[in-house]
Amino acid sequence: MMTRGLLFLSTLTLAACSSDKAATGVGTDGGVADGATPTPTATTDATPPPSTDAGTHHIDRSHLKSTGTTGTLDYSDAATWACLPGNDPNECHDDIDATEFLKDNTTQIDKHTILKDPPFDCFYVYPTVALGGGGNMTDFSDISLVLDPLLAQAARFTQLCEVYAPLYRQVSLSFGGGAAADAGAAAGDAGAADAGAAGFPISGDATLAYGDVEAAFNYYMAHYNKGRKFVLMGHSQGTAMLTQLIINKFDKDADLRKQLISALLIGGSIQVPVGKDVGGTFQNIPLCTKPAQTGCVVAYNSFAKDAPPGTNSLFGKPTGAGLMNACTNPSLLAGNSGRYKGSYSPVKFFDAAFKPDLPDTVVPTVSTPITMVRDMFTGACKNENGFSYLEIDTDQTSDDKRPIPPYRTSGAEGIGFGMHIEDYSIEQDDLLDTVSQQAKAVLGGP
């Protein structure tokens, strides 16, 4: 069961999405050219929900049982969005109130407030949730698997922005031996080979997945954006998809870049020339290096201090001569030189693979779906032994009586993925502060 903790871990997909097919924006069986009108995928004979332009929609996804592997998903169908204004349910509006553990180990409830009429949008693409191979994920009649990362990563941003989160036919991870030789060959770089050797090849067509994400973004821009500024948010496979989207669209379009507040491209492989903050992966979009900087990228890969990247690590590596893996520390971007302001941990998991197991601490039973601690963890960007990464450590003061909550997954760390699963959760309040300051710099306000 522990190896299922690699749900987010799609280094192979990161590689596959940089293939020539994806780079052109024209994918086999589903890629779409830049600016092209996507061809909707036929789902079933069932009548889909109406367009979100019509108001509130009670979502039934039974007609998305088998979406096929041609064309792109029909994003005029509200059911193809996990989070969309007017959806009932809007999955980003689930209960994520948190029980905060104070330094004296008493607790208080931190209510999550969804901002009414937020001034900007967040476009979120979730990481890998499809396991076991079998090709691209095509059954969306039940999206429970999507909810673990959605609630742990994107939902809390509803206190700042309107979150749009499309479903997409992502590639799956194949466990137990090479069932995905074609996909591995398509990936075709050292990172893919390393992941394949570790026993985690991808299964499916990455260009189909990318075609869906680009089609969803095109539909968002045409029907929902209405000239608003926005943040791009992704993790792992989701970051790979958004990375390719930025290469295909934003790097080539100065007007589109003016709408971009920032891009959270976390748990991926964003590269820059050594000593520089632009070049490498993107030619016109730099890394964020200071508070309130806009039009820039937040990117890092997390590793625990006592389990740094080693010879089997698949994250944090440079991909070419003269390049380094990007690391931007959210606390510094938030203007916070101390410990992380708020770190969150779900109590229940739709898939137990996400559940951390280190340290082996007994956390008291709480009534909320989330627990939270402030000022317990620190982070620092490190560039050591050929890796660039965000080092995570605990740093408790002598009067801190709280138990350290479980926050690491030993199975993932043991095969080289570090704290990939926890890339958002430890740093979350600092990420929120970073985005809040960036948005205020663009939009004004207190």
Q: What is the pLDDT at residue 336? A: 94
* Cα of 266 vs its chain's centroid, Å: 6
What is the helix (H) or strand (E) element at residue 252, kind and residue range?
A: none
Can you name the residues that pair with 107 across neighbouring β-strands? 101
Q: Which amino acid is at 55?
A: G
Going by pLDDT thresholds of 50, 70 and 90, the confidence category of residue 175 is low
Question: Can you say whether the dihedral through the CA atoms of 9, 243, 120, 295 is positive or negative?
Answer: positive
pLDDT beyond 50 at 194: no
Burial class (CB in 10 A: 0-12, 13-18, 19+), 365: exposed
Q: What is the pLDDT at residue 55? A: 67
Query: What value does the mean pLDDT take over residues 416-437?
Result: 96
Taking a C-beta distance cutoff of 8 angstroms, is the pair 337, 329 a contact?
no
Quick one: which of 180, 171, 164 has its CA closest to 138? 171
Q: What is the pLDDT at residue 200? A: 58
Taking a C-beta distance cutoff of 8 angstroms, is the pair 88, 81 a contact?
no
Angle (CA) 319-168-216 rounded to 5° is: 95
Residue range 351-399, pLDDT digits in tens: 877 789 999 888 889 999 999 999 999 999 999 999 999 999 999 999 9
List phi, psi (to 5°) of 92.
Answer: -75, -5
Q: What is the pLDDT at residue 56? A: 84
Residues 6+ away with beta carbon under 8 Å from 67: 41, 43, 73, 138, 139, 140, 169
pTM check: above 0.85: yes
pLDDT beyond 90 at 300: yes
pLDDT beyond 70 at 18: no
Mean pLDDT, the chain, rounded, equals 85
Antiparallel, parallel or unpaired: β 81-83 and 162-166: antiparallel
pLDDT beyond 60 at 50: no
Instruction: Enter the tokens of residue 7.
Output: 């749900």
pLDDT beyond 60 at 249: yes
Greatest mean pLDDT among 33-37, 334-338, 410-414 lies in 334-338
**326 or 349: whose pLDDT is higher?**
326
